[in-house]
Amino acid sequence: MDFVRPIEAIVPGAQGRVLAVLAETTAELNLRTIAQLSGVSQAQASRVLPGLVELGVVERREVPPSSLFRLVPEHVAARAILGLARSTDTVLDELGQMVRSLPFPPASVIVFGSFARREARADTGIDVVVVRPGGVDEDDDHWAASIEQWRTDVRRLTGNRVEVIEVTDDEAATRMAGRSKLWTRIRRDGRVVHGAGLEELRSARSA
């Protein structure tokens, strides 16, 4: 999934660009502004908008000499469009829910990289740190199977591959306190979707 331009990924062309602009605001916009913000010509916008108004997805209000347009959030199709606009947040929420349903939930799950920065494209992997809970050995078959099932479920949810870095809580604390470029990025961009937070992990190093 292209999470930078999710609406245009599903609704290609000028129509998708126009809908993406209208989904980002509750304000009424005139034709010229919509064209400028969506990167299409005014002629293209003027061809797209009447059809959307006819469907009821967009409403038009005449304020001579201009017409003002806005998305109708109550419309069933607009709900789907707004859902696409919020797809990154939806995925982050669902990642946490899916982890909590596992038979052996991790101590922490942190999403980092382009997805956490809201820059993930269709060919971008979702980078995740999984902190293995104490008492679970790294070669535990049940643990490995549950994490692999979670990866499969995330791939089905998003269409993006999932890259997992698995560490213990001690390893997470040590690396969080270190200066490697990777863990610096994790500290800076990481989004905790389940379990212990970044500072909690950093202070958890065993004496």
pLDDT tops 90 at residue 200: no
Q: Same structural domain for residues 68 and 107?
A: no
Contact by Cβ (8 Å): 131, 13: no
CATH label of the domain that carries residue 35: 1.10.10.10
Domain hosting 35: range is 6-84
Residue 98 resides in a domain? yes
pLDDT per residue as tens digits for the range 54-64: 999 999 999 99
Confidence of residue 205 (pLDDT cuts 50, 70, 90): low
pLDDT per residue as tens digits for the range 7-26: 999 999 999 999 999 999 99
Considering its fold, how many domains does the chain have in total?
2
Report the percentage of the chain scoring pLDDT > 70. Answer: 98
Cis before 65? omega within 30: yes
Q: Same structural domain for residues 69 and 103?
A: no
Residue 1 resides in a domain? no
Q: Same structural domain for residues 153 and 181?
A: yes
Q: Same structural domain for residues 30 and 73?
A: yes
CA-closest candidate to residue 62, choices 24, 30, 35: 30
Q: Same structural domain for residues 78 and 97?
A: no
The span from the CA of 102 to the CA of 141, in Å, is: 14
pLDDT per residue as tens digits for the range 122-162: 999 999 999 998 888 888 999 999 999 999 999 999 999 99
